[in-house]
Amino acid sequence: MDQYVSVTPAEATQARDGVIKLHGAEGFEGMRKAGRLAAEILDALVPHVVPGVSTQEIDDIVREMMLRGGGIPATLGYRGYTHSCCTSINHVICHGIPSDKKLRDGDIVNIDVTPIVDGWHGDTSRMFLVGDVPMKAKRLVDVTHECLMLGIEAAKPGNHVGDIGWAIQSHAEKHRYGVVRDFCGHGLGQLFHDAPEIVHVGRPGTGPQLRPGMIFTIEPMINIGKPHGKVLDDGWTAVTRDRSLSAQFEHSIGITEDGCEIFTASPKGFDKPPY
């Protein structure tokens, strides 16, 4: 049987092995602020994500915007990671490390940001199209965004984590895409990664039941080819084994009495490209 515990903001800082936290109004308010800053940063990046810019330059902009917005980058120093965002280009599934490598015309890139504001983590990512992108890459990006939104529609009290996975998997596989299993969404709040795991495949009615107060991410990674990935020698960069293109979108959400609240919605309506 899955375990749940109602937490105050002070208790939300504690790691509780496998126990699912139910947050109150203050937690939701904290997540709203952190999520808004995260979304504003992705909105503001749009003019910067162009051919010729390096991913390190993007990382510098992200860090500046986080600090200016009253946040700190959750990834800086996280398990030895030394950057303020992840930049995952083309066949990189996730956790691409910013470097002096420049974006090129035709690339697709995921930028994943997590500012901490007053202790709360706003975790979100979007795909960006660099210059003129081939149709088949644009289709992958569109379907991946549809997968995220279908997962979010399934995120309501009484449903189970498996309903989210099923919504995503069935849509992706209808398009003959592969859903990555090696990485998943996660509970978050005052912790960056907490219970439960939100796997992006599943069967309806399976896994932990969703209850009001739960806060977690949904962040499907979808490949044009097979689901399988591997992590490069840098210890972070996850790539598709078959080198097929991979896309991802991520929102941080909270389960409410009648559905869910998206904490990281774009204030500018920049939900999916073109922006």
Residues that bind Co ion (CB under 5 A): 112, 123, 217, 250
Whose Cβ is closer to Co ion: residue 111's or residue 210's?
111
- Site mask, ligand MF3, residues 203-242, x = CB under 6 A? ----------------x----------------x------
β pairing state of 4-7 and 20-23: parallel
Give the footprint of ligand MF3 on residues 241-270 (CB under 6 A): 250
Whose Cβ is closer to Co ion: residue 52's or residue 164's?
164
Burial of 58 per CB tally in 10 Å (0-12, 13-18, 19+): buried
For residue 75, the partner it binds in ligand MF3, Co ion, none, with Cβ less than 5 to 8 A by kind, is ligand MF3
Window contacting ligand MF3 (CB under 6 A); options: 75-83, 102-110, 161-169, 199-207: 75-83
CB atoms within 10 A of CB 180: 25
Size of interface with ligand MF3, in residues (CB under 6 A) = 12
For residue 235, the partner it binds in ligand MF3, Co ion, none, with Cβ less than 5 to 8 A by kind, is none
- Distance, first Cα to last Cα, the chain: 44
- Phi, psi of 178, deg, nearest 5: -100, 135
Under 8 Å CB-to-CB from 162, ≥6 apart: which residues? 202, 203, 204, 205, 206, 207
With binding defined as CB under 6 A, does residue 81 bind ligand MF3? yes
Q: Where are the alpha helices (DSSP H) in the chain?
A: 25-45, 55-68, 135-153, 161-174
**Element (H or E) spanning 194, and its range?**
strand 194-198
Nearest approach in angstroms of CB 207 to ligand MF3 is: 19
Whose Cβ is closer to Co ion: residue 169's or residue 264's?
264
Nearest approach in angstroms of CB 174 to ligand MF3 is: 25
C-alpha–C-alpha distance, residues 115 and 122, integer Å = 6
With binding defined as CB under 6 A, does residue 123 bind ligand MF3? yes
With binding defined as CB under 6 A, does residue 146 bind ligand MF3? no
Structure tokens at 171: 């849509």
For residue 59, the partner it binds in ligand MF3, Co ion, none, with Cβ less than 5 to 8 A by kind, is none
Nearest approach in angstroms of CB 137 to ligand MF3 is: 21
C-alpha–C-alpha distance, residues 233 and 19, integer Å = 33
C-alpha–C-alpha distance, residues 49 and 169, integer Å = 29
With binding defined as CB under 6 A, does residue 112 bind ligand MF3? yes
For residue 248, the partner it binds in Co ion, ligand MF3, none, with Cβ less than 5 to 8 A by kind, is none
Q: 3-class DSSP state for residue 87?
A: strand
Whose Cβ is closer to Co ion: residue 49's or residue 158's?
49
Are the beta carbons of 129 and 141 closer than 8 angstroms? yes
The residue ranges that bind ligand MF3 (CB under 6 A) are 75, 78-79, 81, 86, 95, 112, 114, 123, 219, 236, 250
